[in-house]
């Protein structure tokens, strides 16, 4: 019987998910429930159903029942935080994603820090304070004790705008506290954390309560400008080297990160009584004191998914189904092609504050797919012309025997696309990689 798989969402990440499904030897029928048509997803021969919102579960149910869906894969966090997985359970359709309770791992920073501290994962977390009162002296004490070197985190989903960092976004206590008070007004709580110094990386794992299988480790570049300058974005580009790791990480760093995810998965189950199924996307930081956890997300990263899923060799359908059946142990490990990947988003002028819409894009009909893959994000097709509809428009992944070659192919592909979109040319270069290696060497020397 043909498998019928629904993917929720229509950005670059969801294009990468559909791409991985389309390469499955099981040849599933793929359906995309979307708020607009993604031309890249459409070009894969995916059936598209438009809805007003991905949180409109009744509309999703109508499609799922109509096609007799065998699996649902939510792309973004919002439907998971709203309980799409619990809703799918009622419909008796497997969902590759955690329940609402487990999804708090992303949607509530205070819940996450507290359950990790209470279940033996405190060693992987910075010092923190949860504050609930608008008038709370403890926040000032926390700020002063750490000489202002803190991070303030809103306790709910704010689409990438929920964290402010000392030095980047504020200097004084008053500035930090204005943000903290806004979070208390909106979510009832705020989290203050010690600011960690080190190099960040992402390790995404698929989990089923018993087994944790890691994808290739990678690193996002969040700042809009070259050399990590300018405002934070959703992510401008991601790299991963030919070993499936990063040049500044040791195998021990990845083992530590894996172990934090194993312990955190167990902590979630102990706390909620429910098994976490789906993606645990750890945002880690390698510091002079070892690997620490910055945050968890409960879905694929965007752009991380573009690097991970374009080089995936293990059958993605099998990975998702095995997780839903709590039988991930049947997959020994996740295999990917032994190539480096350099991914960059082409973005609309004005991104991230006010991205221009309607920028026209001339796109080549063919290119060598052994060297590059292209994923569509904020882009639509109007009378045969591709135009931008969002900030991050096209995600280009270059493949190569090392990061330098992967970057060359990524840039070559970008040069074939005629538009006014911009990207970060420094991502994946030897200069930036060497800088990171040097920073990490001096941090390790401090240890
Ligand atoms: P977001 O992805 O919007 O939650 O932003 C999180 C970003 O804030 C991370 O990528 C880090 O750069 C930064 N961040 C969060 N927590 C800390 C921390 N404790 N120390 C240093 N940086 C942090
Ligand atoms: N790469 C950032 C995110 O997906 O949240």
Tell me if 195 CB under 6 Å of ligand 1. Answer: yes
- The pLDDT of residue 445 is 86
**From-to residues of CATH 3.40.50.20 in the chain:** 4-100
- Per residue, the 3-state secondary structure of 95-112, as one string, reads ECCCCCCCCHHHHCHHHH
Architecture of 198-432 per CATH?
Answer: 2-Layer Sandwich (3.30)
Tell me if 200 CB under 6 Å of ligand 1. Answer: yes
**pTM of the predicted model as reported, rounded to 2 decimal places:** 0.97
pLDDT tens, residue by residue, 328-355? 999 989 999 999 999 999 999 999 999 9
* Residue 294 alpha carbon to ligand 1 centre in Å: 6
Distance CA 404, CA 398 (A): 10
Res 236 pLDDT > 70: yes
Residue in 298, 300, 303, 395 to alter for ligand 2 test, most ligand atoms within 8 A of Cβ: 303
Is residue 154 classed as helix, strand or coil in its secondary structure? strand
Res 145 pLDDT > 90: yes
Which residue's CA lies nearest to atom 2 of ligand 1? 160
Q: What is the pLDDT confidence band of residue 447, given thresholds at 50, 70 and 90?
A: low
CATH topology of domain 127-194: Dna Ligase; domain 1 (3.30.1490)
Res 446 pLDDT > 90: no
* Residue 47 alpha carbon to ligand 2 centre in Å: 26
CB 294 within 8 A of CB 226: no
pLDDT tens, residue by residue, 8-51? 999 999 999 999 999 999 999 999 999 999 999 999 999 999 99
Tell me if 220 CB under 6 Å of ligand 2. Answer: yes
Average pLDDT of the chain?
A: 96
Residue in 106, 282, 289, 294 to alter for ligand 1 test, most ligand atoms within 8 A of Cβ: 294
Q: Can you tell me which atom of ligand 1 is nearest the CA of 158?
A: 3
**From-to residues of CATH 3.30.470.20 in the chain:** 198-432
Tell me if 294 CB under 6 Å of ligand 1. Answer: yes
Res 308 pLDDT > 80: yes
In the block, tokens 């700042």 appear at 223
DSSP annotation of 355 reads P
| Lookup: tokens for 439 | 């920073």
* Residue 341 alpha carbon to ligand 2 centre in Å: 17
Distance CA 205, CA 300 (A): 9
Tell me if 302 CB under 6 Å of ligand 2. Answer: yes
Q: Can you tell me which atom of ligand 2 is nearest the CA of 299?
A: 4
Percentage of the residues of the chain whose pLDDT score is greater than 90: 95
Distance CA 280, CA 264 (A): 9
Has domain 4-100 been given CATH number 2.60.40.420?
A: no
Res 94 pLDDT > 70: yes
Tell me if 67 CB under 6 Å of ligand 1. Answer: no
Tell me if 214 CB under 6 Å of ligand 2. Answer: no
Among 336, 376, 389, 342, which residue's Cα sits nearest to residue 221? Answer: 342
In the block, tokens 């998702």 appear at 320
Find the angle CA(214)-CA(217)-CA(219) to the nearest 5 degrees.
145
**From-to residues of CATH 3.30.1490.20 in the chain:** 127-194
Q: Can you tell me which atom of ligand 1 is nearest the CA of 195?
A: 20
Q: Can you tell me which atom of ligand 1 is nearest the CA of 126?
A: 19
| Lookup: tokens for 273 | 């009584």
- The pLDDT of residue 260 is 98
Which residue's CA lies nearest to atom 3 of ligand 1? 160
* Residue 301 alpha carbon to ligand 1 centre in Å: 15
Distance CA 171, CA 95 (A): 44
Tell me if 162 CB under 6 Å of ligand 1. Answer: yes
- Stretch 209-227: mean pLDDT: 97
Q: Taking every pair of C-alpha atoms in the chain, what is the biggest distance, in angstroms?
A: 63
pLDDT tens, residue by residue, 153-199? 999 888 778 899 999 899 999 999 999 999 999 999 999 999 999 99
Percentage of the residues of the chain whose pLDDT score is greater than 70: 100
Distance CA 20, CA 347 (A): 24
Tell me if 76 CB under 6 Å of ligand 1. Answer: no
Q: Can you tell me which atom of ligand 1 is nearest the CA of 161?
A: 3
* Residue 165 alpha carbon to ligand 1 centre in Å: 7
- The pLDDT of residue 444 is 87
- Stretch 91-110: mean pLDDT: 97
Distance CA 250, CA 431 (A): 20
Res 88 pLDDT > 90: yes
DSSP annotation of 312 reads B
């Amino acid at each position: 019987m043909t498998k019928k798989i629904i993917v929720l969402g229509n950005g670059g990440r969801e294009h990468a998910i559909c791409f991985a499904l389309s390469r499955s030897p099981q040849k599933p029928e793929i359906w995309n429930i979307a708020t607009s048509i993604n031309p890249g997803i459409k070009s894969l021969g995916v059936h598209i159903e438009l809805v007003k919102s991905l949180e409109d579960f009744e509309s999703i149910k109508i499609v799922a029942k109509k096609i007799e869906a065998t699996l649902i894969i939510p792309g973004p966090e919002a439907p998971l935080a709203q309980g799409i997985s619990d809703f799918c359970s009622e419909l008796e359709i497997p969902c590759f994603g955690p329940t609402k309770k487990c999804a708090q791992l992303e949607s509530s920073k205070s819940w996450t820090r507290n359950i990790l501290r209470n279940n033996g994962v405190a060693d992987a977390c910075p010092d923190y304070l949860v504050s609930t009162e608008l008038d709370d002296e403890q926040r000032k004490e926390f700020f002063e004790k750490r000489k202002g070197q803190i991070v303030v985190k809103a306790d709910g989903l704010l689409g990438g705008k929920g964290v402010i960092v000392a030095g980047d976004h504020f200097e004084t206590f008053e500035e930090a506290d204005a943000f903290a008070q806004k979070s208390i007004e909106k979510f009832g709580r705020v989290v203050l954390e010690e600011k960690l110094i080190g190099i960040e990386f992402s390790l995404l794992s698929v989990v089923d309560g018993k087994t944790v299988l890691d994808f290739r480790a990678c690193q996002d570049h969040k700042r809009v400008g070259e050399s990590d300058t300018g405002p934070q974005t959703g992510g401008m580009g991601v790299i991963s080297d030919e070993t499936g790791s990063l040049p500044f990480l040791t195998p021990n760093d990845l083992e530590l990160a894996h172990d934090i995810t194993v312990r955190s998965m167990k902590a979630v189950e102990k706390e909620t009584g429910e098994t976490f199924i789906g993606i645990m996307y750890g945002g880690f930081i390698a510091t002079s004191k070892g690997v620490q956890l910055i945050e968890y997300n409960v879905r694929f990263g965007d752009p991380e998914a573009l690097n991970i899923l374009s080089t995936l060799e293990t059958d993605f359908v099998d990975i998702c189904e095995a997780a839903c059946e709590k039988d991930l142990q049947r997959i020994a490990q996740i295999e990917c092609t032994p190539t480096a990947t350099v991914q960059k988003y082409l973005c609309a002028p004005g991104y991230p504050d006010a991205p221009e819409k309607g920028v026209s894009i001339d796109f080549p009909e063919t290119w060598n797919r052994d060297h590059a893959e292209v994923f569509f994000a904020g882009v639509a097709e109007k009378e045969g012309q591709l135009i931008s509809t969002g900030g991050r428009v096209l995600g280009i992944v270059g493949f190569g025997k090392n990061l330098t070659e992967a970057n060359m192919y990524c840039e070559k592909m970008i040069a074939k696309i005629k538009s006014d979109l911009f990207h970060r040319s420094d991502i994946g270069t030897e200069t930036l990689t060497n800088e990171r290696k040097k920073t990490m060497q001096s941090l390790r020397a401090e240890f």
